[in-house]
Structures are given as structure tokens and as C-alpha cells.
């Protein structure tokens, strides 16, 4: 256990957002904690981790399913933008390969 300073976090955050090999710039990652569960989304793999150990997993196969997960489970307001749908479709295709 060592004290951490703001510059330590700044360097790490810069790397995660800018390095060409960072998975944060090549995919979709979302997580939200609720009182009795945690929702996670990695590209098109949606999971609900329940308190006590049970996990439900689902592979989302359409843009509509990904949008629904982002809006409902993660409480995000998404724009009605064709370029977003194209990007989500690309992530779904990557997840099936």
C-alpha cells in the first residue's frame, strides 16, 4: 500500500485513451453498479453479475439490442445518429469472429 498522486493517474489515463493498443479505443466498454448487481458490456457481450455470485451472460446480435442495453441497463441517452449505429454494427461483427 503506497500513496498515489494525481500525476500517477494522469499518465495511466492518457495511456488508456491514446495508445493505439488500448482496448478502450477499439471497443465498447460499459459498467454500472446497482444495489444488488453489476451490469457490464464489452462490445456485444452483456452480463449481469448478481450479488452472491450468479452471472447471466448474453451476446447481443443486433444494433437494437446493444442500444437497448446501453439505454436501459446503463441509463445512457443515445443520439439517433446513423454513424453510431454503423459503429455498433461493426462491434457486433467483431464479436462474432
Alpha carbon distance 63, 89 (integer Å): 6
Q: What is the mean pLDDT of the chain?
A: 91
Local confidence band at 96 (pLDDT 50, 70, 90 cut-offs): low
Please say whether the beta carbons of 59 and 95 come within 8 A.
Answer: yes
CB 50 within 8 A of CB 37: yes
- Domain residue spans of the chain: 28-95
Across the range 87-92, mean pLDDT stands at 90
Classified by CATH at the fold level, domain 28-95 comes out as: Arylamine N-acetyltransferase fold (3.30.2140)
- The CA distances from residue 15 to 6, 18, 35, 36, 42, in Å, are 14, 5, 31, 32, 19
pLDDT at 97 over 60: no
Amino acid at each position: 500500500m503506497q500513496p498515489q498522486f494525481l500525476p500517477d493517474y494522469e499518465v495511466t489515463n492518457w495511456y488508456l485513451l491514446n495508445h493505439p493498443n488500448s482496448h478502450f479505443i477499439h471497443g465498447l466498454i460499459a459498467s454500472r453498479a446497482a444495489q444488488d448487481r453489476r451490469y457490464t458490456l464489452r462490445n456485444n457481450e452483456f452480463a449481469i453479475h448478481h450479488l452472491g455470485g450468479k452471472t447471466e451472460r448474453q451476446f447481443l446480435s443486433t444494433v437494437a439490442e446493444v442500444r437497448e442495453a446501453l439505454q436501459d441497463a446503463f441509463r445512457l441517452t443515445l443520439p439517433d445518429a446513423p454513424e453510431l449505429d454503423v459503429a455498433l454494427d461493426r462491434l457486433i461483427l467483431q464479436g462474432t469472429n
